[in-house]
Structure 1
């Protein structure tokens, strides 16, 4: 009976494996999106640094009021973009945390099912070993009786 219990769980294991694989793929996808957001943030911050360096170079030579206004306006827009990119990164980070929790739950369920199947198989093997030992003992008793008769 235990063997059939393990066999009946096979389709459940297949479904749990599929769910775990899909969750793992989702984790990978979200990690990729977070990495892209980090790269973009790095690029924006690098661009801001370069732009500020340009201000230092131009400022030493003297700049017009119009140039300064354009610089400040563009820097403000760049700061806004950096802030938005940080928010995007935070969103992707939170999303990654959520899908990672789902994957961990699915993985734990799969491992639990695998352990249950293993226990059923071990029980079936033990039961079969006991039956075999009982048959061998009965056979040995018959042989002894036949030897004495």
Structure 2
């Protein structure tokens, strides 16, 4: 390995650690988003069940107090759904930010890896040229001198 590539090794290691940490963070916030989405789906399913209960009970006749309680509870349920919608949106924003951060770290890491590979290739080509020159010189020395 050549010196330029060797000097970049610690930088590549740091970039790799940063990329892995960004990937870990992305996974974490994606999990939180999934949990928030599940909770929202659960609330929406509960709201639908409650509305269907209203239809069933409404067909049999209900009291005024039952209707007041139903409307109050449905209003609270709507508020909870709205709050959970906002939570899902917030978590989606966090996922988007974490994904952008990870993509930036990944691109930096890949750029560094390509640079190191280019340095290695340049060193290999230089070594090949040097070796070919050495062989050519050796071949010149082995030729018999013209009379």
TM-score by length of structure 2 reads: 0.97
Give the corresponding residue for 1:17.
Answer: 16
Taking the aligned partners of 1:109 and 1:57, their CA distance within structure 2 comes to 60
Give the corresponding residue for 1:89.
Answer: 88
Taking the aligned partners of 1:59 and 1:4, their CA distance within structure 2 comes to 82
Q: CA deviation at 1:136?
A: 0.2
Alignment of 1:83-122 (within 5 A): 83-122=82-121
List 4+ stretches of structure 1 deviating above 2 A.
Answer: none
1:36-94 CA distances to partner (integer Å, 9 max, x unpaired)?
Answer: 11110000000000000110111111111111000000000000000000000000001
Matched, 1:127 2:126: yes
Unpaired runs of 5+ residues, structure 1, are none
Q: CA deviation at 1:23?
A: 0.4
Unpaired runs of 5+ residues, structure 2, are none
CA RMSD of aligned residues (A): 1.2
